[in-house]
Chain A
Amino acid sequence: DAKTTQPPSMDCAEGRAANLPCNHSTISGNEYVYWYRQIHSQGPQYIIHGLKNNETNEMASLIITEDRKSSTLILPHATLRDTAVYYCIVRVSLYGSGNTGKLIFGQGTTLQVKP
């Protein structure tokens, strides 16, 4: 699985968009980009994933560069409840591929949403 690099911390004003960057320059063609978050020692929570197209769901948007070497998670209107550690993870998603299903969590980005 490719390695990811994220800034250790970021601040965002409540109500503004939070843009969390992630570098994954060694990503392979069959590897997806996933984002999870962990709110204060709770279990990690899936946010969104993508392969090469931009993706949007009810929680966030994921923008992946054309060369796929980096991506940005966007929380369009951050609230205080979005304060958490955000993890960018790169991994294949195949059934029966022999992969162990393991998610490799790095140190992530601690997002502090301020009033």
Chain B
Amino acid sequence: EAQVTQNPRYLITVTGKKLTVTCSQNMNHEYMSWYRQDPGLGLRQIYYSMNVEVTDKGDVPEGYKVSRKEKRNFPLILESPSPNQTSLYFCASSLYQGAYEQYFGPGTRLTVT
């Protein structure tokens, strides 16, 4: 089944404790990206990747890192999480950056205390 998977689905952590949210897709897609969703602000793009080893900042990249060492994986790294990063996070992928259909993962609900 074609899908985007994220882990963990739920995470409660403390300020400053490094964490990684994994994202994997099995569709051989070139393009992957991360969004965060907050009430009243909608979904905002954090980082995106056009292909392996090619990443770039989205609209809200501060406090986040990403890497794209393999085509299928695009982890989101929070080196020193803060409470303002409490949010619902979605990973997405598509065949290429302009493709009409993007596939979204199930989401990761992160709480930073």
Interface residues of A (CB under 8 A from B): 32, 34, 41-46, 49, 92-97, 99-103, 105-108
Q: How far is the CB of B33 from chain A (nearest CB, A)?
A: 6
Dominant secondary structure at the A interface: loop
Whether A43 pairs with B90 at a CB distance below 8 angstroms is yes
Check A102–B100 contact: CB distance below 8 A: no
B63-113 contacts to A (CB < 8 Å): 88, 90, 92, 94, 96-107, 109
Asked if B45 contacts A93 (CB within 8 A), the reply is no
Chain B contacts to A: CB under 8 angstroms: 4, 31, 33, 42-43, 45, 48, 50, 56, 58-59, 88, 90, 92, 94, 96-107, 109
User: Which residues of the other chain, A, contact B106 by a CB distance below 8 angstroms?
Assistant: 42-43
Instruction: Determine the main DSSP class of B at the interface with A.
Output: strand
- Min Cβ gap A6→B in Å is 12
| Bound complex: CA A108 to CA B4 (Å) | 23
| A residues less than 8 Å from B99 (CB atoms) | 93, 95, 101
Query: Do A32 and B100 have beta carbons less than 8 Å apart?
Result: yes
